[in-house]
């Protein structure tokens, strides 16, 4: 018997099949051509001025800071171990470690970006230790500034600035006696017997690590993701909180593209990204791997079991157990806007491939303020900068509720919120006040067999403001003079609130360039009307709201109206936010205070005063609108023009 088999030419084994990434076979295994490599180099050169590529010196500084932080964690855990009288042999090897996740761990962070970190500790270190003794240790460190603990958050966190770099540190205690240096957080067995807050804290690292293990080429993935994230930010569709996609969702879409084209370089992957997701049949989910059941009784995304999961419009499922949908905030309008942007991106990258355009065209922002004819402007104001930051955060987190409510109106085809907020002009120049505003573009549907369209948005606006005030009061955040205003403006009136450099940004895009193709039918889109056809004045006023309770307001409550009218033979749409006659309001201030927090005193608002003049639009301060039975006795202000 021969010691080794004899291999003849005909008996040579075929090479093993390529590794399969994802839940399906790749669409193409084609290797990059020379033109693809040239286009990729041009893409890199285009990205540089945007600051998305960090210098090596800055990267080394981050690494040094994380090393210092890691040493602090190890030192702190040894001190805790000694204070709890653990054996010296265990103390010597107790470990403890800082892990990173998010954009820094993915390798796509931008200049000056913060770092998401996770402190992993052994079982004898409690969460209370993290928020007391570790917090105190950080406070004594000379390089640590702006230290603050948010212990009651959904995912508790310590925030700080370490030598000029913003860092958010989460905490997770594992059921281990020591924390080894080579610990792999992707191990599902680590989740056994953990408290839910620790599982949530671990989730960011586990998802990020899984994504990196599920892409065929990490360098190509990173460059593609940098380009797509920049494109999404330029096109105002980067915001999880407002119903678009956040960083991890964009990363998963890019990772899926890489799985489908495993040998492609970044220039090809960017183009294929737009191809795949402009044609994706939502709500079919995007999955990077087959979901695995670990029998740990944790809630996972599964529309077969959870009825609420069946209503998710654009599911992108995290690859680590417990699997979750990272895009549950997406609404009908935000999905429509994103799909249209995917189609526009595909058209532009096709031009780039044919040498008819440069990469810079992909990162030109569409002119949001030229795109629609009607806008709702939301303003949040507070008396101090610190209160404004808290108030703005709360209001912004609830705007998607308003958008969802507007979408349900049969005469509103689209409600597109711009994720970018803007500083708003003061109502009273002599009064200290800090204001922020958001703008929502509206596409209205014309009624069939009618020249007049009347839409009452009272309930939608009031429900939104009630929700915000209720949460602010329940969380003891609410302070005097925290306000929300809402007003309607036409496109030509936006200059009264927004600076010219914002309105004229990329104004060269024509209406045809930016109009949603899904809404091109002019019979459904009142935004298609020409500006010159508007010849009727719009008596628009603000709705200034405060915390209210009492009987629920019906959808036909008269405080707010959107109206359309006929001028000669041309359709003209008017949107009016009206307040009921103050003189007809009954009931004292006490009726405006939610019963959940009777200790909060809210003074009556000042008498109506002129605050701004928008074209023919007079904006005034109004007292709170009546609620309950009082409101039903007021005549409906919806009138024809």
Q: Using 70 as the pLDDT threshold, list the residues of the chain that sit under it.
A: 1-18, 427-430, 505-641
Q: Using alpha carbons only, give the angle 427, 586, 471 rounded to the nearest 5 degrees.
A: 60
Close Cβ partners of 362 (under 8 Å, ≥ 6 residues apart)? 227, 231, 270, 345, 348, 349, 352
**Burial zone of 171 (CB within 10 Å; 0-12 exposed, 13-18 middle, 19+ buried):** buried
How confident is the model at residue 17, as a pLDDT?
A: 61
Q: What is the pTM of this model?
A: 0.77
Rounded Cα–Cα distance for residues 185 and 169 (Å): 16
Q: Which CATH class is domain 34-53+215-362?
A: mainly alpha
DSSP-derived letter for residue 286 is B
Close Cβ partners of 369 (under 8 Å, ≥ 6 residues apart)? 375, 439, 491, 494, 498, 502, 503
How confident is the model at residue 546, as a pLDDT?
A: 52
Close Cβ partners of 422 (under 8 Å, ≥ 6 residues apart)? 436, 437, 438, 439, 497, 498, 502
Q: Read off the pLDDT of residues 204-224 as tens digits, 9 standing for 90 and up.
A: 999 999 999 999 999 999 999
**Burial zone of 5 (CB within 10 Å; 0-12 exposed, 13-18 middle, 19+ buried):** exposed
Helix, strand, coil content of the chain in percent (nearest 5): 40, 15, 45
Among 271, 245, 249, residue whose Cα is nearest residue 260: 271
Positions at the binding site: 101-103, 110, 114-116, 168, 229, 238, 247-248
Q: Read off the pLDDT of residues 474-501 as tens digits, 9 standing for 90 and up.
A: 888 888 888 888 888 888 888 888 887 7
CATH of domain 370-447+454-501: 3.30.70.590
User: Dihedral of CA 274/279/282/287: which sign?
Assistant: negative
What separation in angstroms does the CA of 637 have from each of 334, 383, 454, 530? 32, 33, 11, 27
How confident is the model at residue 301, as a pLDDT?
A: 94
The pair phi, psi for residue 180, each rounded to 5°, is: -70, 155
Q: Using alpha carbons only, give the angle 452, 568, 616 rounded to the nearest 5 degrees.
A: 75
How confident is the model at residue 496, as a pLDDT?
A: 84
CB 538 within 8 Å of CB 576: yes
How confident is the model at residue 14, as a pLDDT?
A: 57
What separation in angstroms does the CA of 211 have from each of 3, 214, 574, 591? 45, 5, 49, 52
Positions at the binding site for ATP: 101-103, 110, 114-116, 168, 229, 238, 247-248
In sequence order, what DSSP letters do the residues of 47-91 get, joined into one string?
A: HGGGT-S--HHHHHHHHHHHHHHHHHHHHHHHHHHHHTT--HHHH
Q: Using alpha carbons only, give the angle 580, 583, 589 rounded to the nearest 5 degrees.
A: 85
* β-bridge mates for residue 168, sequence order: 116, 159
Tell me how far the alpha carbon of residue 386 is from its chain's centroid. 22
CATH of domain 56-210: 3.30.460.10
Q: Give catalytic residue positions.
A: 103, 114, 116, 168, 229, 238
Rounded Cα–Cα distance for residues 486 and 412 (Å): 17
- The beta strands (E) that lie in 110-241 are given as 115-121, 144-150, 157-162, 165-173
The pair phi, psi for residue 617, each rounded to 5°, is: -105, 120
Rounded Cα–Cα distance for residues 151 and 148 (Å): 9
Domain ranges for the chain, please list them: 34-53+215-362, 56-210, 370-447+454-501
Q: Read off the pLDDT of residues 287-307 as tens digits, 9 standing for 90 and up.
A: 999 988 877 888 899 999 999
How confident is the model at residue 15, as a pLDDT?
A: 56
Rounded Cα–Cα distance for residues 70 and 96 (Å): 8
Among 195, 50, 168, residue whose Cα is nearest residue 110: 50
């Amino acid at each position: 018997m021969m010691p080794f088999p004899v291999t003849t030419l005909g008996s040579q084994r075929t090479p093993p099949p390529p590794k399969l990434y994802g839940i399906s076979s790749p669409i193409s295994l084609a290797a990059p051509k020379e033109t693809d490599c040239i286009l990729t180099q041009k893409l890199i050169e285009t990205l540089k001025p945007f600051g998305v590529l960090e210098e090596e010196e800055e990267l080394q500084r981050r690494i040094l800071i994380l090393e210092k932080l890691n040493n602090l964690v190890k030192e702190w855990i040894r001190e805790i171990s000694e204070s709890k009288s653990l054996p010296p042999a265990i103390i010597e090897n107790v470990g403890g470690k800082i892990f990173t996740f998010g954009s820094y761990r993915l390798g796509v962070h931008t200049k000056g970006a913060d770092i998401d970190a996770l402190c992993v500790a052994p079982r004898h270190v409690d969460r209370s230790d993290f928020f007391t003794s570790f917090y105190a240790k950080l406070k004594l460190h000379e390089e640590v500034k702006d230290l603050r603990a948010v212990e009651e958050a959904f995912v508790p966190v310590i925030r700080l600035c370490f030598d000029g770099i913003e860092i958010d540190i989460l905490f997770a205690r594992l059921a281990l006696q020591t924390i080894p240096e080579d610990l792999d957080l992707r191990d599902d067995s680590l989740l056994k017997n953990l408290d839910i807050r620790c599982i949530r804290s671990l989730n960011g690292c586990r998802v990020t690590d899984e994504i990196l293990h599920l892409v065929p080429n990490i360098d190509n993935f990173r460059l593609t993701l940098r380009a797509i994230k920049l494109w999404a930010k330029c096109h105002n569709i980067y915001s999880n909180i407002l119903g678009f996609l956040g960083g991890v969702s964009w990363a998963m879409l890019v990772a899926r593209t890489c799985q489908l084209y495993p040998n492609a370089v970044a220039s090809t992957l960017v183009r294929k990204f737009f191809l795949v997701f402009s044609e994706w049949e939502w709500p079919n989910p995007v999955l990077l791997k087959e979901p695995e059941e670990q029998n740990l009784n944790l809630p996972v995304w599964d529309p077969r079991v959870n009825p609420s999961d069946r209503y998710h419009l654009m599911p992108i499922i995290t690859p680590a157990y417990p699997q979750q949908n990272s895009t549950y905030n997406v609404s009908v309008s935000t999905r429509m806007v994103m799909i249209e942007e995917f189609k526009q991106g595909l058209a532009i990258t096709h031009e780039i491939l044919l040498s008819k355009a440069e990469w810079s065209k992909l990162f030109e922002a569409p002119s949001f303020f030229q795109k629609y004819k009607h806008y709702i402007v939301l303003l949040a104001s507070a008396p101090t900068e610190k209160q404004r930051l808290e108030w703005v955060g709360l209001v912004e987190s609830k705007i998607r509720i308003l958008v969802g409510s507007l979408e349900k109106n049969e005469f509103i085809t689209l409600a597109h919120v711009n994720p970018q907020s803007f500083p708003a002009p003061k109502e009273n120049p002599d009064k200290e006040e800090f204001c922020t505003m958001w703008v929502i573009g509206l596409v209205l549907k014309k009624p069939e067999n009618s020249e007049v369209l009347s839409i009452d948005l009272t309930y939608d606006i009031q429900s939104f403001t009630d929700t915000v005030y209720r949460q602010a009061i329940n969380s003891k955040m609410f302070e005097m003079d925290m306000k929300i205003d809402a007003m309607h403006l036409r496109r030509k009136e936006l200059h009264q609130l927004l600076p010219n450099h914002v309105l004229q940004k990329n104004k060269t895009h024509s209406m045809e360039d930016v109009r949603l193709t899904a809404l091109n039918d002019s019979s459904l889109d009142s935004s298609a009307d020409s500006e010159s056809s508007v010849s009727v004045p719009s008596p628009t006023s603000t709705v200034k709201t405060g915390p209210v309770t009492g009987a629920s307001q019906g959808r036909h409550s008269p405080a707010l109206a959107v109206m359309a009218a006929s001028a000669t033979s041309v359709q003209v749409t008017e949107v009016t936010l009206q307040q009921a006659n103050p003189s007809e309001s009954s009931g004292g201030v006490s009726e405006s205070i939610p019963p959940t927090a009777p200790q909060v005193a809210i003074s009556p608002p000042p008498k109506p005063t002129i605050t701004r003049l928008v074209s023919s639009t007079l904006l005034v301060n109004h007292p709170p609108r009546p609620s309950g039975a009082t409101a039903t006795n007021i005549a409906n202000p919806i009138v024809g023009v």
